[in-house]
Amino acid sequence: MYVVIVYDVAVERVNKVKKFLRRHLHWVQNSVFEGEVTLAEFERIKAGLLDLIDEDEDSVVIYKLRSMPKREVLGMEKNPLDDII
C-alpha cells in the first residue's frame, strides 16, 4: 500500500517523529512523508508513532492508497521523489 503521513506535533517531539519516519518513508516536505509499505511495516509505523506522540496534543493524519498517486507540484519541490534509487 502507498501511504502519505502528515503530522502536527509539539516542537519538542518534531525531530523524534521526523527521524522515525525517515527510516520508513520518503520525506516530501515539512511534516509530510510518503512511500510504499507492506502491511506489517505500516503497523510498525503506526505503533512507533503512537509511542512518540502525545495523543492529547499532537495530530497525525495517515492517507492509505492502493498505489502511488499521480503528483502535481506547484512551485519548487523540496525533496523530489526522483532522488530515490
Residue 5 near residue 29 (C-beta atoms within 8 A)? no
Q: pTM for the whole thing?
A: 0.86
Q: According to the model, what pLDDT value does residue 3 have?
A: 97
Q: In the structure grid, which three cell numbers stand for residue 21, read together?
A: 519516519
Each residue's pLDDT, cut to its tens digit, for the chain (85 residues) gives 999 999 999 999 999 999 999 999 999 999 999 999 999 999 999 999 999 999 999 999 999 998 888 888 888 787 776 655 4
Please state, as a whole number, how many other Cβ atoms lie within 10 Å of the Cβ of residue 15: 10
DSSP string, 26-66: EEEETTEEEEE--HHHHHHHHHHHHHHS-TTT-EEEEEEES
pLDDT, tens digit (0-9, with 9 covering 90-100), for 30-46: 999 999 999 999 999 99
